[in-house]
Amino acid sequence: MHNLPVSIRLNPAKASRPFEGSPIPWSPHGLLLEQRPIFTLDPLFHAGCYYVQDSSAMFVGHVFRQILEKCRRPGLRVLDLCAAPGGKSTDLAASLRESIGNDYLLVSNEVMQQRARILGDNLAIWGDPCVMLTSADAAVIGRNEGYFDIIVVDAPCSGEGMFRKDEKAVHDFSQQTVQLCAARQKRILADVWPSLKEGGWLIYSTCTYQQAENDDNLQWASEELGGEILPCSNEFAEYGVQLSSCGYLLKAGESLGEGQWVGALQKTAPAKQCKQLQLKALRYGVHKGEIKGGKLVPDSDYALSLAYENEYPAIEVSREQALGFLHHDALRFDDAPLGYNVITYLGHPLGFVNNLGRRCNNLHPVQRRILMDIK
């Protein structure tokens, strides 16, 4: 469980390079670090300047960028079906923004409500206003026929690729689990399939090595649902990336990170098309705040958004002060204007305070406060 590889993916829209590291060949913003910092005690982590993500998991983003080159256009609609905790969604969002600009929709969905809350926090910190957060079953999403251009399904699996870092995955693994997961994955793919438009792309991934959950399921989707599997070419063989019959396989100890499998297919089956997405959004767009007592109280996440317009005075703070803000310590800024100010660290917004003079009210969400000792 010790000395496992650790990697981060930078947020290109919040230009900052907090750590030195080796480039990850398949991720333009990925870095493999020599040692694991205490990310919780880095204010830039809380500012959304980077996301901590396994390098093998970033390979899904590589396949996504390959497909994005084939269907890039303004107004592209993408679904990340099983999105928590947010690594793949933030990767997709960064790639979409760099490729298309500000004209796309990424629906980041997580059916489990507790995991959806974690996903929502990570998306808010990343700050992309073109990402919609939803919490719906695959079958409900499937009713939106022909709506999406690209769907990413990082399916729940038997977890064999996580054995090095997750003892529970080792304990829970069995061939019965593999068969149960394979059957559930088929149901998920079949349920969401109607929402993919004809000619659209499905990217399917797991963190297991089991053929029944990987190649067999993508082959099943191709034959039963109607699609052509994306041919694979291995330009990363020297980094431990292997080709399977229908996709790419990265094994822990042989690649740069943990275990991951990913493949893709293009939908050939005919599909109806709806123009209006019929899903309840838990979070979407830019929420600047709400009127209370005749005054606009800024939304705590507005400062983190890429759409933030710098309309509030900024208080640039030291690392110690930034951690104090994130820890919800008592703060006082005698030289700052009274009223709402945005706290910044190295120029990156962290959130708002209401400066009352002798003290400040902290608007940083309570559920995101640092709990560990910051000294």
Where among 236, 267, 298 does a domain terminate? 267
207 is catalytic: yes
Do 250 and 113 lie in a common domain? yes
In a domain, 138, yes or no: yes
In a domain, 254, yes or no: yes
Where among 267, 300, 325 does a domain terminate? 267
Do 190 and 126 lie in a common domain? yes
DSSP string, 316-349: E--HHHHHHHHHT-----TTSPSEEEEEEETTEE
Q: Give the chain's end-to-end CA distance (angstroms, integer).
A: 27
Q: Give dist(CA 64, CA 203) in Å, integer.
A: 7
Kindly report each contact of residues 32-37 with a partner whose C-beta sits within 8 Å and lies 24 or more positions away, as own/partner: 32/5, 32/6, 32/7, 32/256, 33/6, 33/7, 33/8, 35/6, 36/6
Q: HSE on the CB side for 28, CA within 13 Å?
A: 14
Per residue of the chain (375 residues), give pLDDT as tens: 457 899 999 999 998 889 999 999 999 999 999 999 999 999 999 999 999 999 999 999 999 999 999 999 999 999 999 999 999 999 999 999 999 999 999 999 999 999 999 999 999 999 999 999 999 999 999 999 999 999 999 999 988 887 887 777 787 788 898 999 999 999 999 999 999 999 999 999 999 999 999 999 999 999 999 999 999 999 999 999 999 999 999 999 999 999 999 999 999 999 988 889 999 999 999 999 999 989 999 999 999 999 999 999 999 999 999 999 999 999 999 999 999 999 999 999 999 999 999 999 999 999 999 999 988
Do 353 and 299 lie in a common domain? yes
CA distances from 187 to 198, 224, 272, 336 (A): 20, 12, 20, 56
pLDDT digits (tens, 9 = 90+) for 238-269: 999 999 999 999 999 999 999 999 999 999 99
Q: Give dist(CA 93, CA 107) in Å, integer.
A: 10
Do 263 and 311 lie in a common domain? no
- Name the residue range of residue 96's domain: 6-267
Q: Give dist(CA 89, CA 87) in Å, integer.
A: 6
Do 193 and 339 lie in a common domain? no
Query: If you compute the radius of gyration of the chain from its CA atoms, what whole number of angstroms results?
Result: 22
In a domain, 283, yes or no: no
Q: Residues 243, 234: contact at Cβ < 8 Å?
A: yes
Q: Which two tokens stand for residue 138?
A: 């695959």
Do 319 and 212 lie in a common domain? no
Spacing of C-alpha 348 from chain mean position = 20
Q: What is the CATH number of the domain that holds 349?
A: 3.10.450.720
In a domain, 284, yes or no: no
pLDDT digits (tens, 9 = 90+) for 83-124: 999 999 999 999 999 999 999 999 999 999 999 999 999 999
Do 192 and 318 lie in a common domain? no
In a domain, 278, yes or no: no
Do 100 and 165 lie in a common domain? yes
Q: Which of 49, 82, 181, 207 is catalytic?
A: 207
Q: How many domains does one find in the chain?
A: 2
> Which residues partner with 289 through β-bridges?
298
CB-CB neighbours of 128 under 10 Å: 24
In a domain, 281, yes or no: no
Q: What is the CATH number of the domain that holds 34?
A: 3.40.50.150
Q: Residues 280, 191: contact at Cβ < 8 Å?
A: no
Instruction: Residue 352: name the closest of 339, 367, 360, 362 by CA.
Output: 362
Do 156 and 60 lie in a common domain? yes
Do 134 and 169 lie in a common domain? yes
Phi, psi of 264, rounded to the nearest 5 degrees? -150, 155
Instruction: Residue 255: name the closest of 30, 85, 12 by CA.
Output: 30
In a domain, 282, yes or no: no
Q: Give dist(CA 172, CA 351) in Å, integer.
A: 40
In a domain, 23, yes or no: yes
Instruction: Residue 49: name the closest of 1, 8, 109 by CA.
Output: 8
Do 260 and 295 lie in a common domain? no
Do 333 and 193 lie in a common domain? no
